[in-house]
């Protein structure tokens, strides 16, 4: 009498992977571990990407100094930003389509919200500009500052907004357009011009 063996869904002899081909199994596990490590590293890098929220200038400098206090580096970003803000730098002034350059290789650009649209067509020295200072007033709060006008500025890192009216970080954030990759660090100051108090 002939016995009939039903079709087996699982081959018991090949099911025990440890005894079948240990080297092949180890390679598969190693490859899987590498894939998880690479994916996890990419996710971690995205989470650790430095985000620059819009901040008031003094708070921004305080955060930089606090972050640098634990590092042992000779270069201070906080000191560099403070120097850009407080010390005399070779500069370009661009107001109402008129370019005035003071010094060689200007590091700072001073302008206002109304003049931004003309920056792209202006003929000024742009390659060494590290900081742009933009003056705004209460009427400008309902308009936008398009960061794409600064794409031709190779060294630009900081956008410093000086407002003649009370603003918040949220107001400034709502004004900023095309800075999705956080290419520029934006900080602001309220300066009503009434320093005679």
pLDDT tens-digit readout, 67-87: 888 777 778 889 999 999 999
Q: How many domains does the chain have?
A: 2
For residue 161, give the nearest of 151, 170, 172 by alpha carbon.
172
Predicted pLDDT at 72:
75
Beta bridge partners of 188: 56, 161
Residues 157 and 177 in one domain: yes
Residue ranges of the chain with per-residue pLDDT less than 70: 1-27, 30-52, 194-197
Q: Which domain holds residue 65?
A: 55-190
For residue 113, give the nearest of 91, 97, 95, 136 by alpha carbon.
136
Residues 43 and 61 in one domain: no
Contact in structure between 157 and 52 (CB atoms under 8 Å)? no
């Amino acid at each position: 009498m002939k016995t009939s063996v039903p079709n087996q869904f699982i081959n018991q002899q090949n099911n025990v992977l440890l005894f079948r081909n240990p080297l092949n199994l180890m390679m598969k596990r190693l490859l899987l571990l590498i894939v998880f490590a690479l994916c996890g590293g990419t996710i971690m890098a995205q989470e650790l990407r430095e985000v620059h929220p819009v901040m008031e200038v003094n708070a921004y400098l305080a955060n930089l100094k606090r972050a640098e206090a634990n590092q042992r580096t000779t270069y201070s970003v906080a000191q560099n930003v403070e120097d850009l803000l407080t010390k005399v730098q070779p500069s370009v002034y661009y107001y109402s389509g008129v370019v005035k350059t003071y010094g060689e290789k200007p590091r700072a650009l001073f302008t206002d919200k109304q003049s931004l649209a003309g920056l792209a067509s202006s003929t000024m020295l742009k390659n060494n500009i590290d900081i742009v200072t933009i003056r705004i007033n209460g009427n400008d709060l309902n308009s936008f500052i398009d960061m794409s006008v600064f794409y031709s500025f190779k060294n630009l890192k900081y956008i410093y907004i000086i407002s003649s009216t009370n603003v918040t970080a949220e107001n400034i954030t709502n004004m900023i357009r095309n800075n999705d990759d956080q290419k520029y660090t934006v900080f602001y100051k309220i300066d009503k011009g009434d320093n005679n108090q």
